[in-house]
Homo-oligomer: A and B are copies of this chain.
Amino acid sequence: MKTHSTAARGSASRQMPDTGRVSLGRLGDFVGFRLRRVQNQLSRDFAAATSAKGLRSGLFSSLGIIEANPGISQSELSREVGLDKSVTVTIVDELEKFGWAVRERSKEDRRRHELFITDEGKAHLDELFTIVGKTEDAVLHQLSPAELHLLSELLDRMYAACMRDEG
């Protein structure tokens, strides 16, 4: 069952439409494909907008999570952002080098490193949020607030289902 056929112009066989759009065919029945292309483009826009700062991928998200969850551990951070623990180490190393966040040994569990954002980190995060907000708005400006909210909700439910299955 094709739920959403794009352009099914004419009969299937033969040559490419010179003017028309490319058909997704059966691929159009899967959200994974659409998700991937949108996310690809979005993260490319993000990289272009922040290229001056030379941030490694995942650093922005990590700093955002640290800000929202003061004292979070690196393991929890890894789980939330979806990165390997070893990658998180590298990111936190960099955050500390920049002076945007700090590690503090936990008093209760001395294996843990509690993470905190610094004032300087907050300032840079503000800047980054502004940049990302701009690039996202360029893509989302035609989605109504209701649609945007629904999109977030659907993505959250999908993510929750992912985590339930193998989390």
Other-chain contact of A16, B36, B69, B133 (Cβ < 8 Å):
B69
Name the segment of A74-82, A85-93, A94-102 touching the other chain. A74-82
In the complex, what's the smallest C-beta–C-beta distance from A17 to chain B, in angstroms? 5
In the bound complex, what is the Cα–Cα distance between A18 and B114 (angstroms)? 13
A3-B152 contact, Cβ under 8 Å, with A67-B25, A70-B14, A162-B42: yes
Give every chain B residue within 8 A of A163 (Cβ-Cβ): 18-19, 41
A residues apposed to B, CB below 8 Å: 3-9, 12-19, 22-43, 45-46, 61, 64-65, 67-73, 76, 79-82, 114, 125, 129, 132-133, 136-145, 147-163, 165-167
Contact, CB under 8 Å: A27 / B61: yes
For residue A47, give the distance in angstroms from its CB to the closest CB of chain B: 11
Report if A133-B67 is in contact (Cβ < 8 Å); known contacts: A8-B149, A148-B8. Answer: no
- Expressed in whole angstroms, the Cα–Cα distance for A162 and B45 within the complex equals 9
Give the residue of B24, B65, B81, B157 whose beta carbon is less than 8 angstroms from that of A143.
B157
Task: Name the one of B24, B76, B82, B150 contacting A41, with C-beta atoms under 8 angstroms.
Answer: B82
Contact status of A149 and B4, CB under 8 A, knowing A37-B81, A139-B158: yes
Complex CA–CA separation, A34 to B42 (angstroms): 12
Q: Are B147 and A154 in contact (CB under 8 A)?
A: yes
Tell me which residues across on chain B come within 8 A of A160, comparing CB atoms.
17-19
